[in-house]
Structures are given as C-alpha cells and as structure tokens.
Structure 1
C-alpha cells in the first residue's frame, strides 16, 4: 500500500484484496497516520479487486476515527465488485464515493473542505 500526504490531504492506496489479511494490513498502516482536524483522508481503491466483510471492518473503523477527529474520509476509483459489496451492505450511503481522485480535488477546490458529520 502507498501512503502519501500533501498539506491537508492524506492519500491511501491499498492494493490487491481487502480481506482479513489485507484489512489488517490496511488498519495498521492507517493507524500510523495521526488524524488532524480538517484533513481530507482519501482511500483510492483503484488497485483493489476484492473486498469482503472482514475488509469492511477497517474501512468503517477508519471512517469512525476520522469523523471523531474532525477529518473527512472519502473513497475513489471503486471497481464494480467492491462497489457491489458497498451497495449490498448499504455502506455506499455512509461513505462519500467519487469516481476519480481528480473529482475529489475539484470538489474540494470548488467549495470549502466540509467535514463529515
């Protein structure tokens, strides 16, 4: 997984599957980044082909942590199989999902950084 941080944007790029093992790895790596108020956390799922129920846990925990610390967490580049899991679990209505990373940046540039509530 790749993690990059530019000003108030923290970008996570997991790879492969987010299952029990991949989810644990994702959780550990995301825990290494200390959330700060008004940060934008982006999870770019472009290289994730599979997500199962055990992989949903770290995503939901990270969303909760982000919100508790005044951060906004969004997903982008969600492939069809992963989007299906999010839709079946109705988490697509909980997470902000953008088609591309550029869409997120355009959204943030057009209006002030809105915090998730």
Structure 2
C-alpha cells in the first residue's frame, strides 16, 4: 500500500470513558465528518481508560460507514482495559489495531513496509 498525497487523515482522540455518554459524544463527533474515499480515520485511544458494550456501538458504526465509503479506519494506542473488551467481543480481529500512531504509517496489517510520500 502506498500513501499518496491525496490521503486525508482524520484523527479522533476521545478521552475518559467510552460508555453510553462517551459513546454518544464520539458518535456525534464522527457523524460530523463525511467519509470519503482515500481518507484514513484514526481513533487514538491513548486517553481512554474504560469502554463498555455501549461504547462499541459508535466504533462499529464508524467502521461500517468507513468501509462503505472506501475509507480505512484504524485504532491506535489501545489501553489494556479497552483491549480486553475488544478481545472478549472478538472485535480485535475486525479492527486494524496499531500500538502507536506512528506505527500506522510504518507498518501495515501484514507487517510489510508502507511508503509515505
């Protein structure tokens, strides 16, 4: 995969808990962005220390919208409590998850090099 100049990165940085209230806030934020082909949606979870099942809803909806529009949606900096929820629901195999924001641009899902222009 080659990242081209027309790639637009959309960064979401939720904080605190992604529960019913936090999930609604994230969903509203994400609804404000119209997904377009060649966009990369990054959800940086570095400051999210808790997620429950209602918090998964906006993530799954965003992934569905991104895929339908030809976008790529990835998660990064997933904290252990959130990772546990993703693993228990087996969504860790559905989402692309990277350890850091920088890893998104240096490795792909199959660990091959990604070239950035």
User: TM-score per shorter chain, which class?
Assistant: 0.7 to 0.9
Equivalents in 1 of 2:32, 2:105: separation in Å?
24
Corresponding position of 1:3: none
Corresponding position of 1:103: 103
Alignment of 1:59-70 (within 5 A): 59-70=59-70
Corresponding position of 1:75: 75
Give the drift of 1:100.
0.1
Q: Structure 1: which 5+ residue stretches go unaligned? A: 1-6
Equivalents in 1 of 2:38, 2:67: separation in Å?
10
Rg comparison, structure with higher value: 2
Residue 33 of structure 2: SS of its match in structure 1?
coil
TM-score, normalization by structure 1: 0.86
Corresponding position of 1:39: 39
Corresponding position of 1:4: none
Equivalents in 2 of 1:42, 1:79: separation in Å?
15
Of structures 1 and 2, the one with the larger relative CO (CA 8 A, separation 6+) is: 2
Give the drift of 1:38.
1.3
TM-score, normalization by structure 2: 0.86
| Number of corresponding residues | 108
